[in-house]
Amino acid sequence: MLEVVQLEKDYGDLRVLNGVNFRVREGELVSIIGPSGSGKSSMLRCCNLLEQPTAGQIIFDGLDITREDVNINAVRQNMGMVFQQFNLYPHLSVLKNVTLALRYVKKMSTHEANELAMRALEQVGLKHKADARPNQLSGGQQQRVGIARAVALKPQIILFDEPTSALDPELVNSVLAVMRELRGLNMTMLVVTHEMGFARDASDRVLFMDGGVVAADGKPEAIFSATDNERLRSFLSRFH
Ligand code: ADP
Ligand code: MG
C-alpha cells in the first residue's frame, strides 16, 4: 500500500530524515515510536507531501507520488490524516466539520455527504453530537470527530500523528478504542504514538525511529523484547 524508499528531508542545513525505508501492507496497523525530534512527524508529513521530501520515493498504491506529474490533491483524497491538535473548525458544527471535504473536495451533494458523515460519526460513537460545536465536546470527543472526518473520505490509509498526546489521560482510551475498532475493520493505519501499550498490542508491526532513520522494524513482540538494540532499550525504559 505504502512504500517509503531512501527518504531524506532537510530543513535548510538541518538533515532530519537520513534514508528512511519501510513498507505498510494493506490492512496493517504500523506504529511508529521514538524519541522527540527523531523525525517521526516529518516522515509522516512527507508521506502525504505536506512536506516536500529532499530525496527518496514515496510509493503509494503502486504510484511514486514524489514525481512531478502526480496530482497530489487526488492522492491526498485517498490518505486521511489525524493530527495531535484535532484541527477542527470551531465555528462549524461537528457534522459540517466532517462533511466539508466531502462536499468541496469530493464534490458530493449535501444529502450524500451528510449520510456518509453520519455513518462515520456513528462509527466513532458521536452521532448524537452532530449539531454540537467542537468546543462543546471533550478533547477525546473532538479527536474522535477528527477520526470520523478522515474515515468519511474512505481513504486507503490513515496517518495519525500522536492522536492522543494532547488529551487528558482519562480521555486517551476512548480514542484508542476507536482506532482499535478501525483496525478490526481492516483499515490500513500508520500511527505515530507514545502509547506503548497500544503500540504493543494493537500493531501488526512497530517501527522505532531514531536520529532520522528507522532503527528497528519488527513485530511488537520482537521490538518490545529487544535486548540487542541499546538505543531502543534505553528509549523503552523511560516508559516503565
Ligand atoms: P518528532 O515528530 O519525532 O518529534 P520532528 O519531525 O517533528 O520529530 O522533528 C525532527 C527535527 O526537525 C527536529 O529537530 C525539529 O526541530 C526539526 N523540524 C521539524 N519541522 C521543522 C521545520 N518546519 N523547520 C525546521 N526544522 C524543523
Ligand atoms: Mg512529532
Q: Quote the pLDDT of residue 220.
A: 97
Nearest CA owner, ligand 1 atom 11? 37
User: Cell numbers of 223, please?
Assistant: 521490538
Across the chain, which has 240 residues, the per-10-residue mean pLDDT values are 98 97 98 97 96 96 94 90 95 98 93 97 97 97 97 97 95 97 97 97 98 97 91 91
Amino acid at residue number 85: Q
Q: What does the alpha-carbon distance between residue 140 and residue 131 come to, in Å, rounded to a whole number? A: 17
How far separated are the first and last CA of the chain, in Å rounded? 34
Q: How far is the CA of 41 from the centre of ligand 2 (A)?
A: 4
40 ligand 1 Cβ < 6 A: yes
Q: How far is the CA of 110 from the centre of ligand 2 (A)?
A: 35
What number is the ipTM of this complex?
Answer: 0.98
42 ligand 1 Cβ < 6 A: yes
pLDDT in tens, 126-159: 999 999 999 999 999 999 999 999 999 999 999 9
Which residue among 8, 9, 15, 16 has the greatest number of ligand 1 atoms within 8 angstroms of its CB, and so is best to mutate?
16
Q: How far is the CA of 37 from the centre of ligand 1 (A)?
A: 6
Q: What does the alpha-carbon distance between residue 165 and residue 83 come to, in Å, rounded to a whole number? A: 10
135 ligand 1 Cβ < 6 A: no
- CA dihedral over 183, 115, 73, 87, signed as positive or negative: negative
**Polymer length in residues for the chain:** 240
Ligand nearest to the CA of 7: 1
Closest atom, ligand 1, to C-alpha of 12: 25
Q: How far is the CA of 39 from the centre of ligand 1 (A)?
A: 6
pTM for this entry = 0.96
146 ligand 1 Cβ < 6 A: no
pLDDT in tens, 164-187: 999 999 999 999 999 999 999 999
What are the residues whose beta carbon lies below 5 Å from ligand 2 (ion)? 40-41
**Strands, E assignment, 12-123:** 14-24, 29-33, 55-60, 63-64, 79-82
11 ligand 1 Cβ < 6 A: yes
